[in-house]
Structures are given as structure tokens and as C-alpha cells.
Structure 1
Amino acid sequence: MELTCKATEMAILLHVLPPTSIVVFSKSSSTQSISRSLDLTRRVRCRISDSSSEVKSEEVASKLEYNGGILDDFFMNSFRNKLVEEVGYDSEKPGYVGLMELVKLLLLKGRTRSETNDAAVRILKSLFPPLILELYKLLIAPIAQGKLAALMVARVTVLTCQWLIGPCKVNVIDLPNGESWDSGVFVEKCKYLEESKCVGVCINTCKLPTQTFFKDYMGVPLLMEPNFKDYSCQFKFGVAPPEDDGIVNEPCLETCSIAGRRKSNSGECPMS
């Protein structure tokens, strides 16, 4: 590597300096000039290389992380307060880490999937002002066979939920009747699933309750399709979940942090 670097530097000097200039130099002055030139070239090249690496690192970081604002902090604090009311305990850990600890406690507290689902739906419902949900279901949901309502909630999800699920975008989905609506939301890598590393947390505190909430309280069918291999998730507003949704029977992830605790306490899997 060192020999290649020196050879490249010498080639640059030979290209810049005319051959006659090298011939007329004395031995000592030539050596000193070339040494100074090599030094300068090396410093310049290193600075360019370092600068380029920093730019690339910053670009990658900006693509992977969602930088929330004041509203995101408000949404997180509101959600956390409702979780505290439901589980009767607040984590000492700050931010998203503390939030996920409360979510896991919500799952562990529920004796059955139905109890956990009901608790999560209560939390979602409590986040909305009175009458808003009723008015949306009564006035907006019926318009254009539900298309307007589905398009609206997809965009609101992208605007208000990235602090919870990570970067996401609206996309086009296919409906069972053959139509295509831009009422989907694609989450490239769900932060909720990635941080919890638990199928039970995803299914019982997110997928099932969220589907129930939108259908029962906003009049919008929703199918959520989490991918437990790459942690992506596809929201399909306007599409009803199948009666036999096989994804709810997915086995625990190897990285699950609470499966062992739940099994040792009651002999049950968190998925039950």
C-alpha cells in the first residue's frame, strides 16, 4: 500500500513538473522540493478523503434516523402517559427506551391476547379528543365507499407517527376488488418492532389493536403486514384483515427479550 501511494504521488509530480525542471535542479534542492511536494500532496489527499467519508457517513445517518420535532415529543409524552395509566407504573428510563419498557409491561400484564388488545385499544382511543372519532366515522368514512377516509388516515399516519414507527411514506396498494388506492403506508424498518425485538409486542400491542381501533372507532378497515425478517411493515388502509390471519401465529424471534420471562412465569408464550 505504501509503495503504491508513493508511486502515485511521484506520477502526479512528474505530470505537473516539466522534465527539464527536474534535470536542472541540483541534487539537494531537487530532493527537498520533491519531499515538500509529496508532503503537501499527501495532506491534501488525506483531507479530501476524510471530508468525503464524513459526508457519506452523514448521508447514511440521515437516511436511517428520523429526527423528530416538538410535536413528536408531545405525541410521545402523551402516549407514554396513557401507558403509565394503563400499567400503573412508569419506567425510570427516558425517551423511547422507557416507552418500550412500558409496552412490554402492557403485554406481560394481560393474561390473554384479548385483554392486551382491549388495553391497547383504550390507549389509542384516549389519545383523541371527545367526539372526533364519532364525527369522523359518521361523516367522513362513508364518502366514496370509504376511499376519502382511507387516503386521509394514511397521510395523517405519515405526518404524526414517524416518531413511533420510524421513517415511512404513502404508497399505492391493491384492493381485493381490483382497484388501486394511494392509501398505503410503507415503513421501511419499523422502529417499534426493531426496538422490542418481539413478535408478541408487535402483534398484540400494535397490529391487532390498531386494526381494531381504525375499524371500530374510525370506520376505516386496515390490514397491517409486518415482516419479521427485515422489520418492514405495510399498512393497507381500506383493506379488511382476513378472518384467518396466519401472521398472528408467527413464532417468537430468537432475539425476543421477554419470551423466556413469560414462559417461566406462567408456562405461556407471549403470543397466546
Structure 2
Amino acid sequence: MATLLPHTFYSFEQKPQLHTTTNNHRLFRISAQSRETIQTTIAPISRVEYTPGVFDHVFLNLFRNKMAQEVGWDSEKVGYDGLIDVANRLMVARTNAETKDAAVRILRSLFPPLLLELYKILIAPIAQGKVAAVMVARVTALSCQWLMGTCTVNNVDLPDGSSIPSGVFVERCKYLEESKCVGICVNTCKLPTQEFFMDHMGVPLLMEPNFTDYSCQFKFGVTPPEEDSILKEPCLEVCPNATRRQIAVADTLEMKCPKA
């Protein structure tokens, strides 16, 4: 939109009188005021910023190192930009299933194996899994803001009709916003994270990313559906990895991300 501002402005500008210096000066002042008015009227898209702390940088470097070890390559870029580069490389020359399995291995490598086994055996069965779901929700909200941005714990409706604070709402996921890719979100985050918590910690998890506003809802204690509509999402318009493709399905055209 910023590129349209000069054209928008000049369409309302009065043609200056070349022979009058005073008019030229007056026109310049009007031009500056008009441009300032337009720029302040068109407010930028609001976004929630999370300020990383010391431990956040430690977590970022640890996660990136584990991902680079799995990929066998690391980016020259520093910080979060480098992490996104490595996440892109994780999908190169791999099928979706291979990418998901690699991401699960990365998540497992972040925890002592005995800790995961003990949690699954001792904590997960308590109160039909509700205690474990609430615990991992709180830990996720506290420890993963460096990756996703501002998170808050909220209530989730469980299949048995009860409601417990086992949800995590990500106001605007930085990982999705920076990667700009549905495939990276689905195959390196959503699907492997769901599988990791279920298979290795005994906690069902449903993640519901919103590709319009980049928010995401974690629902610990909720089992993902067999047919997840997220897997049929189209590419983002800003996606650097793929353009929209048309896939014929029963005489209709469905737009679907080729990497989801």
C-alpha cells in the first residue's frame, strides 16, 4: 500500500504555477501536510510483540542446533532468521512424512528420554489425563514464547463435556509469520508436535493454526480428527516456497498447499 501513496497523493495535488515562488512554497507545505495526513490515517497492521529474555536466546540456540544437526546444515544468518532458513532446508528433498518424522526426532532430542517415559507412565494417567494436559499447557505457554510469540493459557472443552485450562492461545505465531509457509507450519510444527505429545508424553493435542491472522490454538487433552481440514489449506499469498495450485477433485477445483 505504501507504494500507492505517491500516486494517491498526486491525484489530489493542484498543479503549481511555475511563475509564482510563493505558490510553490505554499504547495510544498500542503504536499507535506497531505502526505503526513495520509500516512497517519492508514494505520499499520497491529501485531503483538514479544521481547525475548536471556533464557529465550538459550532456548532458540538449543532448538536451532538440534534442527541443524538433523538437517546436516546450518544457515549463515543469525538468530531467528537463521532458524527459519534451517526449517526451510528441513523440507528440501523430503516427503511430508519424512519431514514430520525428522521434526519429531528434534523434539525428542530436547528432552532426557527418561523424563518423557516417566511423564507418560506416572503423570499422564492421572484424572483421565486432565492433570497432564493442564501441566503441559502451562509449561508450553511459559517456555515457548521465544518461538511463537505471546501466549496465554485458556480453557478447552473436552470430549467428556468438561472444561479445563489446558489450552494455549498464541496471539500471532512468529514461526508461521516469518516462514510464510503452510507446509512448514503443518509438517515441522503442527503434525510433529501433536504426534510428539501423544506418543511420547501420553497427552493428546489438537493444534488449530489460523492462516488469516496467524494465531494458533493449542488444545491439550483433545485428540485430532482423522480428517483435518488444515491439511487442505491453500498456500499463503506471501509463501516463498510454492504458488497456488489447482487440484481437480470431483469436478471442482480445490486450492491446496502442495507441501501440506
If the length of structure 2 is used for normalisation, what is the TM-score?
0.76
**Residues 194 and 207, structure 2, Cα contact 8 Å, conserved in 1:** yes
Whole-angstrom CA distance in 2 between matches of 1:251 and 1:271: 10
- 2:171 counterpart residue number: 188
**Residues 233 and 257, structure 2, Cα contact 8 Å, conserved in 1:** no
**Residue type at the aligned position of 1:271:** K
2:225 pairs with one of 235, 242, 264: 242
Q: Kindly report which structure 2 residues correspond to 1:60-99, keeping only aligned pairs within 5 A, or say none.
A: 64-99=48-83
**1:213 lines up with 2:213 in the alignment:** no
Question: How many residues are aligned here?
Answer: 204
Q: Which has the higher helix share?
A: 1
Whole-angstrom CA distance in 1 between matches of 2:212 and 2:59: 28
1:200 pairs with one of 168, 177, 183: 183
Q: Deviations over 1:92-142 (max 9, x none)?
A: 0000001001001101231x1110110000000000013000000000000
Whole-angstrom CA distance in 2 between matches of 1:166 and 1:90: 23
**1:162 lines up with 2:145 in the alignment:** yes
CA drift at 1:83: 0.9
Whole-angstrom CA distance in 1 between matches of 2:112 and 2:159: 33
**1:132 lines up with 2:115 in the alignment:** yes
**Residues 149 and 173, structure 2, Cα contact 8 Å, conserved in 1:** yes
**Residue type at the aligned position of 2:58:** F
**1:177 lines up with 2:160 in the alignment:** yes
Whole-angstrom CA distance in 2 between matches of 1:107 and 1:100: 11
- 2:106 counterpart residue number: 123
- Point out 4+ residue stretches in structure 1 off by more than 3 angstroms: none
- 1:271 counterpart residue number: 259
- 1:109 counterpart residue number: 93
- 1:146 counterpart residue number: 129
**Residue type at the aligned position of 1:198:** C
The percentage of aligned residue pairs carrying the same residue is 68
Change (3 A) 1:234 1:64: same
- 1:21 counterpart residue number: none
Whole-angstrom CA distance in 2 between matches of 1:129 and 1:159: 19
- 1:57 counterpart residue number: none
- 1:233 counterpart residue number: 216
Q: Give the unaligned 5+ runs of structure 2.
A: 1-44, 244-255
**Residue type at the aligned position of 2:90:** L
**Residue type at the aligned position of 1:79:** F
Whole-angstrom CA distance in 1 between matches of 2:223 and 2:78: 36
